[in-house]
């Protein structure tokens, strides 16, 4: 299809080449070393400087025969030749035209070939243009992608040439197999050659593209790998500088996990977590979380145990040494310890000390720790409303921590400490979530060997722990919890006991804490008693201890200022120098008896309490108002007292419907302390009767007892605490329900001997003792008279008799 073809015959020396195909248009340098080739070259140089270059079939062959050489080759000009030092010749040839061998003759050591040289021209056509555009386009891309070609020179070569030669200049630059090149050389039709070149280019481009993609991917990966490698190396260097090797650390962790003595499941969990940790970037947030978790698992005691002291005699000695009095409580503790040694899980096996503040609940629990050779930890449940405080937060929360139980076990460092749960009664009073349910699980011997904390997320065995609870009152502790407990009550101390405790323990402790010696300060008995009487007002010894401490601190200051030789004797006379003016001057018994003011005995969180109960009458509509933080039960017993009074109008000489025109306001001061319980019944009734009859109540008589509608007096709780409170404030006559007489056995003899106790069955007996004089029935009069005496203006036309 080529338009013009010029053919001529030529005879020129022939030189076989290996491993390459010389195309027309191609400038090629190469080294000539073979004897036959040198001869051929010399012959050519001597003549027209033309030589026929054809590729041999097998590149490894040194002496190819004419039939071992392709019969299509290129006629070339020898542009340059240089003889090298080693005898080889370096030549530069320029391809002229393709030629086909017609005949070969052997001459003097080389071959001479007779050739048919073909040069073809092609006429322009749309088809040609299209194919040329395609080839140049593809070739441009090819040059761009291929790294071995010089872009500028290649493009120039392609542009400058005429279309017939384009295929050859492109072909000569392709990096394809020798055989493929030879095929192109043997193709004499320029258009077909162009088409073939285009196809080859397309194939090559595809290969190059794939390669390039792979390359960039490989490169990117390498870059990332390099970057990571670099950063990791740097990190290692930093760690090394800081003295901890990342790898070592993980290995260390593994060793620790294996050595921690965890149960199987927990161990598995820890190992699993460690594996996760290894995969995390060392400084990431998640690895910190993971590491913290492992640290917690490792910090927990899993096996470590204190060696228990099982000798009851030792326990007895320690309890005796560290606490004065409390004989019954100590005995029960020793029994408890003995039973624990014999029975594995006795029912109700949790000790619970109940009593007002400062009576030694916590410090007794600490003594039990020492007496049994266990570690001691304590958690205060006062104000705990959230289950999470006991059981922890799940690890998914940021900043999550285990609950108090686990935290304290970590602190204990052994699996069998004495664990004090302080103020269990304060927890359940205002709970949110349900901390008491979690606490049940902690205290239940059937459940607590597999306690689960939300954070730790593995079962933890609490069964070896000795739990001890403390509480101020029992009634706010949920019943199921109470059922688990063995309750020991500590009522409070008498003045004498307090004096002994102060002399033997508190003073010594405070001297130590304030850095004084016994030479610096002596507390006389009278001095201590003065503190107890006039600076404290409590069932326990907490304030007493604080006041003693405050005296010591003042003396410390003087020692620092004036030197070690300071020596002070603390007596009633100089106490006000240290503690200021006395805080509780008036003893109750020295007060004046008043109308409508009765003295009740209550049992509150701070122990036995003496409470004034006031009743005030006003003209009104029969309302009964109660103030002073009184609980529901107390409100009801006020109603009951009121009904009792109304049923006795004639006996008290009152108009039958007096209440219709009066409002009664009852108030119990000390408003901050919540008060509840039925035991104020007789006190309320007494103050109402006193107010209505205008007979004063004896201020040196205190009372406690529940009242029925018919005026019977029913037994109440806390007699010991109440009597001691009355005694403390100097009241010497106490009215109690007859049925409570049995409780008097518990009262310390020094208190009992100073009290006059009236055990009563009816309200009438109460009034006989409590009121200053007997009630004389008075004749019913107009309301104006009654009301006038209460200081209010009566409604003119109202009449008591109606
Ligand atoms: N019977 C006692 N003998 C010696 N010290 C006591 C006695 N009772 C209480 N204490 C001391 O009084 C202080 C208060 O006791 P604490 O145990 O804190 O009371 P609670 O826990 O009941 O509120 C402690 O220093 C304690 O050692
Ligand atoms: Mg305490």
What pLDDT score was predicted for residue 4?
60
Distance between CA atoms of residues 406 and 408, nearest Å: 5
What pLDDT score was predicted for residue 683?
93
pLDDT over threshold 80, residue 777: no
pLDDT digits (tens, 9 = 90+) for 610-653: 888 899 988 888 888 888 777 788 888 888 888 888 888 888 88
What pLDDT score was predicted for residue 802?
34
pLDDT over threshold 70, residue 585: no
Measured in Å, residue 358 CA sits from the centre of ligand 1 at 5
What pLDDT score was predicted for residue 475?
81
Determine if ligand 1 sits within 6 Å of the CB of residue 357: yes
The most confident of the ranges 16-25, 412-421, 580-589 is 412-421
pLDDT over threshold 90, residue 505: yes
Higher pLDDT, 651 or 600: 600
- Would you give the distance in Å from CA 44 to the centre of its chain? 94
Confidence class for position 284, pLDDT limits 50, 70, 90: confident
Confidence class for position 800, pLDDT limits 50, 70, 90: very low
Determine if ligand 1 sits within 6 Å of the CB of residue 786: no
Residue 364 CA, closest ligand 1 atom number? 17
Determine if ligand 1 sits within 6 Å of the CB of residue 363: yes
What pLDDT score was predicted for residue 661?
84
Active site residues: 679, 722
The most confident of the ranges 151-165, 231-245, 497-511, 675-689 is 497-511
Determine if ligand 1 sits within 6 Å of the CB of residue 505: yes
Measured in Å, residue 544 CA sits from the centre of ligand 2 at 15
Determine if ligand 1 sits within 6 Å of the CB of residue 359: yes
pLDDT digits (tens, 9 = 90+) for 250-273: 888 899 999 988 999 999 999 999
pLDDT digits (tens, 9 = 90+) for 110-127: 999 999 988 877 788 888
Determine if ligand 1 sits within 6 Å of the CB of residue 517: no
What pLDDT score was predicted for residue 348?
53
What pLDDT score was predicted for residue 628?
78
Measured in Å, residue 298 CA sits from the centre of ligand 2 at 31
The alpha-helical segments, DSSP class H, found in 572-680 are 575-579, 632-647, 649-652
Determine if ligand 1 sits within 6 Å of the CB of residue 747: no
What pLDDT score was predicted for residue 782?
45
The most confident of the ranges 147-151, 424-428, 568-572, 586-590 is 568-572
Pocket test for ligand 1, best of 355, 360, 511 (most atoms within 8 A of CB): 360
Tokens of 667: 């108030």
pLDDT over threshold 60, residue 781: no
Which DSSP string do the residues of 656-670 spell out, in sequence order?
TTGGGGEEEEEE-S-
State the average pLDDT over residues 690-700: 90
Which residue, 243, 165, 484, 149, is CA-closest to 346? 484
Pocket test for ligand 1, best of 541, 543, 546, 607 (most atoms within 8 A of CB): 541
Pocket test for ligand 1, best of 318, 327, 359 (most atoms within 8 A of CB): 359
Output the residue whose Cα is nearest ligand 1's atom 27. Answer: 363
Residue 353 CA, closest ligand 1 atom number? 22
The whole-chain average pLDDT of the chain stands at: 85
- Which residues does 632 contact at the CB level (< 8 Å), separation at least 6? 676
The alpha-helical segments, DSSP class H, found in 624-670 are 632-647, 649-652
What pLDDT score was predicted for residue 253?
87
Residue 504 CA, closest ligand 1 atom number? 4
Question: How much is the CA Rg of the chain, to the nearest whole Å?
Answer: 56
Residue 366 CA, closest ligand 1 atom number? 17
> 614 - beta bridge partners?
597, 667
- Which residues does 602 contact at the CB level (< 8 Å), separation at least 6? 608, 609, 610, 611, 675, 677, 679, 680, 704, 722
Of all ligands present, the nearest one to the C-alpha of 497 is: 1
What pLDDT score was predicted for residue 690?
92
Determine if ligand 1 sits within 6 Å of the CB of residue 326: yes
């Amino acid at each position: 299809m080529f338009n013009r073809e010029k053919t001529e015959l030529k005879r020129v020396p022939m030189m076989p080449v290996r491993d390459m195909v010389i195309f027309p248009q191609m400038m090629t340098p190469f080294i000539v070393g073979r004897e036959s080739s040198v001869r051929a070259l010399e012959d050519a140089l001597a003549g027209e400087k033309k030589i026929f270059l054809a590729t041999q079939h097998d590149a490894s062959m040194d002496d190819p025969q004419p039939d071992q050489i392709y019969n299509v080759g290129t006629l070339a000009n020898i542009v340059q030749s240089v003889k090298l030092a080693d005898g080889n010749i370096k030549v530069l040839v320029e391809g002229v035209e393709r030629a086909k061998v017609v005949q070969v003759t052997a001459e003097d050591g080389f071959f001479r070939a007779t050739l048919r040289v073909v040069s073809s021209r092609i006429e322009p056509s749309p088809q040609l243009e299209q194919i040329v555009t395609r080839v140049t386009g593809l070739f441009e891309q090819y040059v761009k992608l291929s790294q071995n070609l010089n872009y500028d020179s290649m493009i120039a070569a392609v542009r400058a040439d005429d279309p017939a030669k384009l295929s050859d200049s492109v072909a000569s630059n392709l990096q394809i197999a020798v055989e493929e090149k030879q095929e192109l050389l043997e193709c004499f039709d320029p258009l077909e050659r162009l088409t073939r070149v285009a196809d080859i280019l397309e194939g090559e481009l595809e290969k190059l593209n794939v390669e390039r993609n792979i390359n960039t991917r490989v490169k990117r990966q390498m870059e990332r790998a390099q970057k990571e490698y670099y950063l990791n190396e740097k990190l290692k260097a930093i760690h090394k500088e800081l003295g901890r090797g990342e790898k070592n650390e993980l290995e260390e962790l593994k060793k620790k996990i294996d050595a921690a003595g965890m149960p199987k499941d927990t161990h598995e969990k820890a190992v699993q977590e460690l594996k996760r940790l290894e995969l995390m970037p060392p400084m990431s947030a998640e690895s910190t979380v993971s590491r913290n978790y492992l640290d917690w698992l490792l910090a927990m005691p899993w096996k470590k145990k204190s060696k228990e002291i099982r000798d009851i005699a030792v326990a007895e000695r320690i309890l005796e040494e560290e606490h004065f009095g409390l004989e019954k409580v100590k005995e029960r503790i020793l029994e408890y310890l003995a039973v624990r040694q014999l029975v594995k899980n006795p029912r109700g096996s949790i000790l619970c000390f109940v009593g007002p503040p400062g009576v030694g609940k916590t410090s007794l629990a600490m003594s039990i720790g020492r007496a049994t050779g266990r570690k001691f930890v304590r958690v205060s449940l006062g104000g705990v409303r959230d289950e999470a405080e006991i059981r922890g937060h799940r690890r998914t929360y940021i900043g999550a921590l285990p609950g108090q139980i686990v935290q304290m076990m970590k602190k204990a460092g052994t699996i069998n400490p004495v664990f004090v749960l302080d103020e269990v009664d304060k927890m359940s009073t205002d709970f949110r979530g349900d901390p008491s349910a979690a606490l049940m699980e902690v205290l239940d011997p059937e459940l607590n060997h597999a306690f689960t904390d939300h954070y730790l997320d593995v079962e933890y065995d609490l069964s070896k722990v000795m739990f001890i609870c403390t509480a101020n009152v029992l009634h706010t502790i949920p019943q199921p919890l109470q059922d688990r407990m063995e309750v020991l009550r500590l009522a409070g101390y008498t003045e004498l006991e307090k004096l002994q405790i102060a002399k033997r323990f508190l003073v010594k402790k405070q001297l130590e804490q304030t850095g004084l010696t016994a030479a610096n300060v002596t507390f006389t008995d009278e001095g201590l008693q003065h503190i107890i009487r006039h600076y404290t007002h409590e069932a326990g010894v907490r304030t007493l201890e604080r006041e003693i401490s405050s005296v010591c601190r003042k003396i410390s200051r003087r020692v620092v200022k004036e030197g070690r030789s300071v020596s002070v004797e603390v007596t009633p006379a100089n106490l006000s120098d240290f503690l200021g003016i006395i805080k509780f001057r008036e003893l109750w018994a020295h007060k004046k008896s008043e109308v409508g003011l009765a003295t009740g005995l209550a049992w509150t969180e701070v122990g036995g309490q003496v409470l004034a109960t006031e009743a005030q009458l006003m003209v009104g509509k029969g309302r009964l108002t109660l103030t002073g933080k009184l609980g529901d039960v107390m409100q009801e017993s006020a109603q009951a007292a009121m009904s009792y009074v109304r049923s006795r109008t004639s006996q008290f000489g009152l108009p039958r419907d007096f209440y219709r025109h009066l409002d009664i306001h009852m108030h119990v001061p000390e408003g901050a302390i919540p008060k509840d319980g039925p035991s104020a019944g007789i006190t309320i009734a007494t103050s109402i009767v006193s107010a209505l009859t205008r007979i004063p109540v004896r201020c040196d008589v205190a009372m406690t007892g529940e009242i029925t509608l018919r005026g019977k007096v029913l037994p109440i709780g806390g007699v010991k605490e109440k009597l001691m409170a009355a005694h403390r404030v100097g009241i010497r006559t106490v009215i109690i329900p007859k049925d409570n007489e049995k409780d008097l056995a518990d009262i310390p003899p020094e208190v009992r001997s100073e009290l006059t106790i009236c055990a009563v069955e009816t309200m009438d007996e109460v009034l006989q003792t409590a009121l200053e004089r007997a009630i004389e029935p008075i004749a019913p009069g107009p309301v104006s008279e009654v009301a006038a005496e209460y200081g209010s203006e009566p409604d003119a036309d109202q009449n008591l008799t109606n």
